[in-house]
């Protein structure tokens, strides 16, 4: 992972750069699908992202108290394995989605 040395030097999680890249790709896709409303798409995406983060932290607190840290990592690893195919789908079909004419 190319970012690992950078992240270890900055006390950050090594998964943060790929998450940022995914988020930027999603922002670009939303704006390309709705070119007449780019600010609205960014606002909706930010609102959804913040609500999802708040819910995830609440769930993490419950998980840490009931399962412990080790099993939390197992649950998150399983979650990542289940959602990993979505990245493959975005890589394969994303360009076609961006080139398709907008409905709005």
| pLDDT tens-digit readout, 29-51 | 788 888 888 888 888 888 888 88
Closest CA to 40 of 54, 30, 52: 30
Place of tokens 């030097």: 9
| pLDDT tens-digit readout, 67-85 | 888 888 888 888 888 888 8
Burial of 79 (C-beta count, 10 Å sphere; 0-12/13-18/19+):
exposed
Helix, coil or strand: residue 2: coil
Overall number of domains in the chain: 1
Sign, CA torsion 34/24/49/69: positive
Angle, CA 98 vertex, CA 97 and CA 104 arms, to 5°: 90
Q: Does 104 reside within a domain? A: no
């Amino acid at each position: 992972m190319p970012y690992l040395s950078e992240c270890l030097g900055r006390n950050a999680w090594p998964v943060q750069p790929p998450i940022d890249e995914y988020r930027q790709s999603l922002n670009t896709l939303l704006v390309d699908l709705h070119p007449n409303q780019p600010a609205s798409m960014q606002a909706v995406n930010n609102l959804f992202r913040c609500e999802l983060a708040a819910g995830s932290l609440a769930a993490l607190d419950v998980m840490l108290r009931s399962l412990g840290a080790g099993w939390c990592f197992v649950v998150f690893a399983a979650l990542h394995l289940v959602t990993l195919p979505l990245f493959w789908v975005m890589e394969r079909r994303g360009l076609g989605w961006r080139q398709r004419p907008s409905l709005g």
